[in-house]
Amino acid sequence: MSLVTRCPVCATAFRVQRSQLAARAGKVRCGKCGTVFDGVTGLVEEGLEALQLEPSPQLGLFDPSRRAEHEEQALPEFLLREEPQPRSRLLWGLLFVLAAAVLAAQAAYRFRTEIAAFTPSARDAVESACKVLRCRIAVPRRPDLMSIESSDLQADPRADNLIVLNAVLRNRASFSQDYPALELTLTDEAERPVVRRVLMPADYLGASRPAPAEGLGAGAEASFRVTFDAGRTRATGYRLYLFFPQ
């Protein structure tokens, strides 16, 4: 059901729908003079007086006699559109900057080890931040830049069940790295594993040579010798891998 509202400025009456009035809390724009007014307050009853109803401004698009008029001026909107306020734009801008800063801080905290290793100039700032946040900068772990340069497995002449592992580790990175764990696997004639043992840094460096907190230096090597009991295992070969535990 259509209603009739009257512009308080030019007294032009228009037919409106309830949905149009509800869309913007009753605010409408006069299609003749462009005044924005309360369409609910301006409602009038048909039949009480003779009303000269103006056609909807959109009809001018199809009426050749009114087309020129609408080509000279922009087609007026019937419903009032709310323009964004400068204060709202400023608030959204501040929220965006704050969110970006929080994401950057989270990324810096998550990759603090990599930042300190690959950007020495930023290490002091990262260490200062960690003192405040009570976090620790771990020694980097890049297994692709750590290698076993040489290794040798021999029987210990002192006893049949003892074997001796000699190996040399090399850090090929341009920064210090943590000492890796080593997996030693003894194999039989068919290269099937018969014994597997994992050696942590404390196992192969020994109590007299604990792993330093700064790890193995850039381009440095570390040699070690480990003796352990293989039991009654008859092994003819071995495999040695390095890895960093999760």
- Residue range 196-216, pLDDT digits in tens: 999 999 888 875 455 555 688
The partner residues of 162 in beta bridges, in order of sequence, read 229
User: Is pLDDT of 4 > 60?
Assistant: yes
H/E segment holding residue 156:
none
CA dihedral (101, 104, 108, 109) in degrees, to 10, reads: 70
pLDDT tens by residue, 45-92 = 765 444 455 554 443 333 444 444 444 444 745 455 555 567 778 888
Q: Domains in the chain and their CATH numbers? A: 2-72 (no CATH), 86-133 (no CATH), 143-243 (2.60.40)
Q: For position 172, what pLDDT does the model report?
A: 94
What is the per-residue pLDDT for 183?
95
Q: How many residues does the chain have?
A: 246
Average pLDDT, integer, range 147-164:
87
**Rounded to whole angstroms, how far apart are CA atoms 201 and 179?**
6
The β-bridge relationship of strands 27-29 and 162-171 is: unpaired
* Long-range pairs, 98-103, Cβ under 8 A, ≥24: none
Separation between Cα atoms, residue 30 and residue 210, nearest integer Å? 86
Q: Is 164 helix (H, G, I), strand (E, B) or coil?
A: strand
Of the chain, the percentage scoring pLDDT greater than 70 comes to 73
Listed in sequence order, the DSSP H helices in 64-207 are: 64-72, 86-110, 112-118, 123-133, 201-205
Tell me: pLDDT of 191 over 80. yes
Instruction: Please give the Cα distance from 65 to 54 (Å, whole number).
Output: 14
Of the candidates 169, 173, 193, 195, the residue with the CA atom closest to the CA atom of residue 181: 169
Angle in degrees, CA 111, 112, 117, rounded to 5: 100
Spatial CA neighbour of 224 closest among 235, 240, 246: 240
Q: How many CB atoms lie within 10 A of CB 16?
A: 21
CA angle, residues 109, 211, 125, in degrees to nearest 5: 25
- DSSP 8-state class, residue 162: E
